[in-house]
Amino acid sequence: MSHQTTHSFLLNPFNPTASPSDPGPLSPSQKDTFYTYQLSLPTGPYGFDKESLWASTIIQHKHLSSNVFHTLQHIGVLDKERGNVVDTSKIGPKFTHQLAEIPARQQKRVVDLLFWWEEECQRLRKLHDEQTELEGLLRTEQGEERRIVLGKLLERVKGKVRARPSERVERVERDEDELVLGLRGVGGEGDLPAYSRT
């Protein structure tokens, strides 16, 4: 079953008609707050900790956030062996019963958060790979002009990592901003790191 199918299946028991009581999607402020919290974790941003759901403001009490965290670990939605990263393929038809300690509205928000964060982690892994590549190139590059270019690209990637969802610029996310396009036009793609070549 695909992620999209699983997600749609799960939403139906909560609110099949999208009534006014539907909590709706995660708000921009919830995404921003959660993103900032995850980036602050000493173990890295990918995995949840006991207070992640509390930090998202979906769950208002830390003890309940911890309880749901352990439930998600138990059913495999948070992969304990991989640092509690999200695995939405483990969300099954019994999920609503497994998460019965919180009401349906909160269950839906938790599901939304899990799917969204799984996608965010794909973005972050790509950016961290880019950062590693640029740092490696800077360590070995001898040419001063080239080092300046690589330094600008590295700061650009770090800025993308820091940017909360509401702060992102679409053309930068697509690697079509002035810096990358200018380098493609002036120096050719051979002068760019592999990730930024078309």
Please state, in angstroms and as integers, the Cα–Cα distance from residue 26 to each residue in 9, 100, 114, 120, following that order.
18, 20, 11, 14
Q: Mean pLDDT, to the nearest integer, of 65-86? A: 98
Which residue, of 89, 123, 157, is where some domain finishes?
123
* pLDDT value for 183: 79
pLDDT digits (tens, 9 = 90+) for 92-127: 999 999 999 999 999 999 999 999 999 999 999 999
What is the domain extent for residue 60?
Answer: 3-123
87 with 100, same domain? yes
119 with 153, same domain? no
Contact 43, 49 (CB under 8 A): yes
Q: Amino acid identity, residue 58?
A: I
Please state, in angstroms and as integers, the Cα–Cα distance from residue 163 to each residue in 10, 13, 96, 157, 158, following that order.
30, 35, 33, 10, 9
Number of domains in the chain: 2
114 with 169, same domain? no
76 with 156, same domain? no
112 with 46, same domain? yes
Lowest mean pLDDT among 13-27, 44-58, 95-109, 158-172: 13-27
Which residue, of 65, 99, 123, is where some domain finishes?
123
In sequence order, which ranges of 163-195 are alpha helices (DSSP H)? Answer: 170-173, 178-187
57 with 138, same domain? no
8 with 20, same domain? yes
Residue 1: which pLDDT band, with cuts at 50, 70 and 90? very low
* pLDDT value for 57: 96
Q: Which residue has the tokens 């956030």?
A: 65
Which residue, of 123, 148, 172, is where some domain finishes?
123
pLDDT digits (tens, 9 = 90+) for 30-43: 999 999 999 999 99
**Coil/strand/helix, residue 99:** coil
- Which two structure tokens, joined as six digits, stand for 125? 């892994």
Higher pLDDT, 13 or 46: 46
Q: Amino acid identity, residue 54?
A: W
Whole-model pTM?
0.82
Helix/strand/coil (H/E/C) assignment for every residue in 28-64:
HHHHHHHHHHHHHCCCCCCCCCCCHHHHCCCCCCHHH
